[in-house]
Amino acid sequence: MKEMIMQNNMSTTLLEALQAMTMLFFFVIPLFFLFLLSKSRRKRLPPGPTGWPLIGNMMMMDQLTHRGLAKLAQKYGGVFHLKMGYVHKIVVSGPDEARQVLQEHDIIFSNRPATVAISYLTYDRADMAFADYGLFWRQMRKLCVMKLFSRKRAESWDSVRDEVDSMVRIVTTNTGTAVNLGELVFSLTRNIIYRAAFGTCSEDGQDEFIKIMQEFSKLFGAFNIADFIPWLGWIGKQSLNIRLAKARASLDGFIDSIIDDHIMRKKANVNGRTDDGGDRETDMVDELLAFYSEEAKVTESEDLQNAIRLTKDNIKAIIMDVMFGGTETVASAIEWAMAELMRSPDDLKKVQQELANVVGLNRKVEESDFEKLTYLKCCLKETLRLHPPIPLLLHETAEESTVTGYHIPAKSHVIINSFAIGRDKNSWEDPETYKPSRFLKEGVPDFKGGNFEFLPFGSGRRSCPGMQLGLYALEMAVAHLLLCFTWELPDGMKPSELKMDDIFGLTAPRANRLVAVPSPRLLCPLY
């Protein structure tokens, strides 16, 4: 009996062991392998700091500056990932990764991210800079490049010359005293663009317009939770909407009257002539009105006139693009160029000697002089390398893609850190040092070709359409400031004491305005 019970117990244990083994072979092990397989197949996002549930890395919001992101790139590499609420942010900080984004997969990466504020202030992306890549953007860009920024539009180039002359005149009357060069060059570029856009330089109008632009700029950068977690959009919605509506109403009030005035002149058939019958320069509003219609239209046509019709909202939005794209960028480049030279007296001496040799001290700089002003060009390139006026290029993916093997989801916000790329230690020797002579060497990257180590104007489809005009204004302004004056820092300040901090916004200008004391240098009065 005892034996029978023991035998029974043994067979039960054996049965249980068999059942356990069957479970293991047929369920647990296959499940384990399935798990491993799915893990290996799961798309691998680029590395990055671990985030919190729902908010992701939103606590790191203050690090989303060109310097903060460059620091994170040292830890996580040339492409890394952050999650801000529901939004994937992909940060590109290496030249090879930038090449993949801007060249290899450029169509996928050519959209622009737009916040609630940006969409509202650009009349639902009726402009070029914030329009997504597609037919509308393509025809709009063609129009802007051919009609607004081209070298053929001599009026814009003339306004650069005239306004540089006015600036030199102001400095001439202030020689021997400390001049706020920063303020001066900011008003120079505002005058250039304002005149190129509206054909006038009225100071009252400009003051009002600058205030409107400043409010736009603040709203573009304002934090709004709806941009990251849409269902929390009710927080602060009312006050933001009031500010947005007020800002756009001021712009409407300001530009509508200018547009109406231009339309009236066009109807009266006096376009191109002043009231007294003389020639009137055509401005950007005139150029855009040639495409005006009550309803917007865009077609595939090769012929520009059939390709696109613009409403007043389109015209207003494009004018804002030009104002934002062309003022702070050029002004901050001129101010940084002068500051770097003030801190590097040997380079300053070399450039001034070159100007004296090529131009002489008894005439103004001509456009044809620039090809011989080699060292000046090196100094400007070195400035743009260390201080790219737009330090972060903002793109968005139209569909999912990959960068260096990592998965990039559709609708990711892609930040190309041009500031970090210009200081990449694998691409540049002694990257933090201002050394213009590096550009004298053969094979050093330039921003005009397909080099991804140096991206002050971006590269590919969304690169800067105003580059030629911007460079012309930069070269003209710096060349005249250095040809016509010698410069000293105020109050006996030594070059090494000049502060070089920047601030982060749409552009990265100097944190402290550059102040310097000019002395006359020309041999005869030209101004």
Nearest by Cα to 101 from 467, 461, 447, 464: 461
Which of 57, 122, 159, 329 binds ligand HEM (CB under 6 A)? It is 329
Which of 88, 381, 462, 510 binds ligand HEM (CB under 6 A)? It is 462
Which of 439, 457, 485, 487 binds ligand HEM (CB under 6 A)? It is 457
CA distance 62 to 69: 10
CA distance 505 to 325: 13
Which of 436, 445, 456, 509 binds ligand HEM (CB under 6 A)? It is 456
Which of 128, 188, 341, 358 binds ligand HEM (CB under 6 A)? It is 128
Query: Is 326 among the residues that bind ligand HEM (CB under 6 A)?
Result: yes
Query: Is 477 among the residues that bind ligand HEM (CB under 6 A)?
Result: no
Tokens of 236: 């602060």
Which of 94, 113, 389, 518 binds ligand HEM (CB under 6 A)? It is 389
Give the nearer residue to ligand HEM in terms of CB position, either 321 or 347.
Answer: 321
Q: Give how far Cα 458 sits from Cα of 320, 392, 425, 521, Å.
A: 20, 10, 20, 37
3-state secondary structure of 56: strand
| Residue 484 marked in a binding site | no
Least distance (Å) between residue 43 CB and ligand HEM: 26
Query: What's the chain's Rg over C-alpha atoms?
Result: 29
Give the nearer residue to ligand HEM in terms of CB position, either 467 or 517.
Answer: 467
384, 333 in Cβ contact below 8 A? yes
Q: Give the CB-nearest residue to ligand HEM.
A: 466
Query: Is 474 among the residues that bind ligand HEM (CB under 6 A)?
Result: yes
CA distance 167 to 184: 7
CB environment 67-100: b (16+ within 10 A), e (fewer)? eebbebbeebbbbbbbbbbebbbbbbbbbbbbbb
Least distance (Å) between residue 329 CB and ligand HEM: 4
Q: Give how far Cα 170 sits from Cα of 12, 177, 512, Å.
A: 104, 12, 21
Task: Return the range that interacts with ligand HEM (CB under 6 A); candidates 12-20, 164-172, 304-312, 451-459.
Answer: 451-459
* Neighbour count for residue 440 (Cβ, 10 Å): 11
Nearest by Cα to 144 from 132, 127, 160, 161: 127
Task: Return the range that interacts with ligand HEM (CB under 6 A); candidates 31-39, 84-92, 215-223, 323-331.
Answer: 323-331
Which of 463, 503, 511, 520 binds ligand HEM (CB under 6 A)? It is 463
Query: Is 464 among the residues that bind ligand HEM (CB under 6 A)?
Result: yes
Least distance (Å) between residue 470 CB and ligand HEM: 3
Residues 135-164 that bind ligand HEM (CB under 6 A): 141, 149
Give the nearer residue to ligand HEM in terms of CB position, either 344 or 418.
Answer: 418
CB environment 244-278: b (16+ within 10 A), e (fewer)? beebbebbeeebeebbeebeebeeeeeeeeeeeee
The whole-angstrom distance between residue 525's C-alpha and the CA centroid of its chain comes to 39
Query: Is 390 among the residues that bind ligand HEM (CB under 6 A)?
Result: yes
Least distance (Å) between residue 474 CB and ligand HEM: 5
Helix (H) or strand (E) holding 42: none
| Residue numbers belonging to the annotated binding site for heme | 464
Task: Catalog residues that contact ligand HEM under the rule CB under 6 A.
Answer: 128-129, 141, 149, 321-322, 325-326, 329-330, 333, 389-390, 393, 456-458, 462-466, 469-470, 474
